[in-house]
Amino acid sequence: MTSTRNFEAYASWHESSDSQMKYMFYKTKDGSPSVSMGNEYSRTELMHSTDGAFSETLYLYEPIVEFVANQCSNYTFLSVGLGLGYVEMMIVGYFLKQGIFDKDRFRIFSYEKDGSLKSFFYSFFLGDKVPNLFYDTYTEIINMYAKHYVIAVHELKEAMKKALLQNNILLLSDFNLSTSVPEKVQGVFFDAFSAGTSPELWSSEALDHVFNQCDTPCALATYASRSDLKKALHRHGFELLKKQGYGGKKHSTFAQRY
- Does residue 242 fall inside a structural domain? yes
Global pTM reads: 0.92
DSSP 204: H
DSSP 7: -
For residue 217, whether the previous peptide bond is cis, meaning omega lies within 30 degrees of 0, is: yes
Pairing relation of β-strands 239-241 and 253-257? antiparallel
113-127 pLDDT, tens digit per residue, is 999 999 999 999 999
- Does residue 135 fall inside a structural domain? yes
Is residue 231 pLDDT above 90, yes or no? yes
- Does residue 20 fall inside a structural domain? no
- Does residue 6 fall inside a structural domain? no
- Does residue 36 fall inside a structural domain? no
CA distance linking residue 1 with residue 191, whole number of Å = 9
- Helix (H/G/I), strand (E/B), else coil: 6: coil
Backbone angles phi, psi at 244, to 5 degrees: -70, 150
130-177 pLDDT, tens digit per residue, is 999 999 999 999 999 999 999 999 999 999 999 999 999 999 998 999
- Does residue 35 fall inside a structural domain? no
- Does residue 34 fall inside a structural domain? no
CA distance linking residue 98 with residue 149, whole number of Å = 9
Q: What is the pLDDT of residue 9?
A: 67
Can you give the CATH number for the domain in which 178 is found? 3.40.50.150
Residue span of the structural domain in which 250 resides: 53-257
CA distance linking residue 21 with residue 43, whole number of Å = 10
The total domain count for the chain is: 1
The vertex-201 CA angle with 25 and 134, nearest 5°, equals 20
Is residue 40 classed exposed, middle or buried when 0-12, 13-18 and 19+ CB atoms within 10 A define those classes?
exposed
* Residue 1 pLDDT grade (very low, low, confident, very high; cuts 50, 70, 90): very low
- Does residue 2 fall inside a structural domain? no
User: Residue 66 in contact with residue 41, Cβ under 8 Å?
Assistant: no
Closest CA to 56 of 245, 255, 253, 240: 245
